[in-house]
Amino acid sequence: MLRKLLGYFFQGVLLTVPLAVTLYVIFKLFVIIDGIIPFNIPGIGLLVLLVVLTVLGYFGSSFIAQPFINYFQKLLDKAPLVRTIYSAVKDLVSAFVGSEKKFDRPVLVKLTRDADLEKPGFITREDLSNLNVGSGKVAVYLPHSYAWSGNLFIVPKENVTPLDVSSADMMKFIISGGVTTIENEDKSDT
């Protein structure tokens, strides 16, 4: 019983800490930048924050910053809890905005063979050989409606139907509980 409660506690920590830390850092950066600027123009702090983040992204993608990033990664590898939280947040953020977007293949997943119940989601990985789940299965992320959470399911490929919609529209559709309208993509423009 105590072990289960402890497991729930750590799961709660893993769910809330990355979000809380991210929001806290953004808020603090906004307050610090607003305090540095000698004049009071509404929204200038946000604009400066966006410019600073973009410049940091530019320098972070250059070869000059790579030794510093590698050093930072080595430091994180020595701190187990921090490493776990950081890598999870980094993977999640890169799944949405990184160069290797993970939620780029929207699908419908048939939940049982006998029923017509299907749930929209995204294929996140096709090669599951390292999990030893057998061939013919894929990893599908099924987001929750009205939340920024979801579940990952391993399902047979034959239960997955690719959808011809943009990933962004599908995510909005799922998160809104099906309220958002999905526009048909015109493939002739690409």
Report whether 29 contacts 50 (CB < 8 A).
no
User: Does pLDDT of 135 surpass 60?
Assistant: yes
CA angle (121, 148, 79) in 5-degree steps:
110
**Cα(4)–Cα(11) distance, rounded to whole angstroms?**
10
Q: What is the pLDDT at residue 187?
A: 46
Give residues with Cβ within 8 angstroms of 50, minimum separation 6: none
Q: What is the pLDDT at residue 184?
A: 60
What letters, b where the CB count within 10 A reaches 16 and e where it falls short, cover 147-185? eeebeebebeeebbeebeeebebbbebbbeeeeeebeee
**Cα(115)–Cα(90) distance, rounded to whole angstroms?**
37
Q: What is the pLDDT at residue 137?
A: 87
Nearest CA among 89, 98, 82 for reference residue 148: 89
User: Does pLDDT of 189 surpass 50?
Assistant: no
pLDDT tens profile 100-132: 666 778 898 988 878 778 888 888 888 878 777
Q: What is the pLDDT at residue 134?
A: 74
**pTM for this entry:** 0.50
| Summary count for the chain: helices (H), strands (E) | 5, 5
pLDDT tens profile 81-107: 777 767 767 776 666 666 666 677 889
- Token pair belonging to 177: 């509980």
Average pLDDT over all residues of the chain: 76
Cα-trace Rg, the chain: 21
Mean pLDDT of 148-159: 82
**Helix or strand or coil: residue 130?**
helix
pLDDT tens profile 14-32: 667 767 777 787 788 777 7
pLDDT-derived band at 150, boundaries 50, 70, 90: confident
Q: Is 111 exposed, middle or buried (0-12, 13-18, 19+ CB in 10 A)?
A: middle
